[in-house]
Structure 1
Amino acid sequence: MFTIYIYVLDTLADWELGYVTSELNSGRFFKKGAPSVSLKTVSDSKESIKTMGGLTIVPDCLIDDIVMSKTSVLILPGADSWNDQKHGVIIEKASELLSLGATVCAICGATAALANFGLLDKRPHTSNGSGFLEMFSPSYKGQSFYIDKPSVADNNLITASPTGALLWAKQIIEHLGVFQANTLDAWYNYFSTGKPEYFFALMQTLPSSNEN
Structure 2
Amino acid sequence: MTQTVYLALTDQLADWEYGHVAAQVNIQHFQQNPGRYEIRTVGLTLDPIRTVGGVRMLPDVALADVVVEDAAMLVLPGGDGWEDAAVATAFGELARRFRAAGKPVAAICGATVALAGAGVLDDVAHTSNFVGALGTYGGAALYRDERVVRDQGVITAGGASSLEFAREVLAELETFASPTLEAWYEWNRDDTAEAFGKLVASVQE
Shorter-normalised TM-score: what interval? over 0.9
Residue number in structure 2 paired with 1:204: 201
Shift of 1:90: 1.8
* C-alpha displacement of 1:56: 0.6
Q: How many residues align?
A: 203
What are the Cα deviations for residues 148-178 of structure 1, in whole angstroms up to 9, with x where unaligned? 1111001211111011111111111111112
Give the TM-score of the pair, scaled to structure 1. Answer: 0.90
Give the match for residue 184 of structure 1: 181
Aligned to 2:39: 39
Greater mean deviation of Cα atoms: 91-100 or 117-126: 117-126
| Structure 2 residue aligned with 1:61 | 61
The structural deviation recorded for 1:70 is 6.6
Gaps of 5+ in 2: none
Which of structure 1's runs of 4+ aligned residues deviate more than 3 A? none
1:34–1:177 Cα contact (<8 Å) kept = no
* Equivalent-residue separation in structure 2 for 1:69 and 1:196 (angstroms): 42
Letter aligned with residue 78 of structure 1: G
1:168 matches 2:158: no
Report the RMSD for the aligned CA atoms in angstroms: 1.5
Unmatched tracts of structure 1, length 5 or more: none
The reply on whether 1:153 has 2:170 as its aligned counterpart is: no
CA distance in 2: counterparts of 1:141 and 1:103, whole angstroms? 20
CA distance in 2, matches of 1:14, 1:2: 24
> Contact between 2:184 and 2:199, CA under 8 Å: does it hold in 1?
yes
AA matched with 2:188? F
* Distance apart, 1:34 and its partner CA: 4.9
Give the share of equivalent positions with the same residue, in percent.
Answer: 35
> Could you report, residue by residue, the CA deviation over 1:77-132 in whole angstroms, capped at 9, with x for unpaired residues?
10112121321122111101111100110000000111122221221100001122
Aligned pairs for 1:134-153 within 5 A: 134=135, 139-153=136-150
Q: Secondary structure at the match of 1:132?
A: coil
Q: Contact 2:28–2:34 at 8 Å: present in 1 too?
A: no
Provide the C-alpha distance between the structure 1 equivalents of 2:99 and 2:34, rounded to a whole number of angstroms. Answer: 23
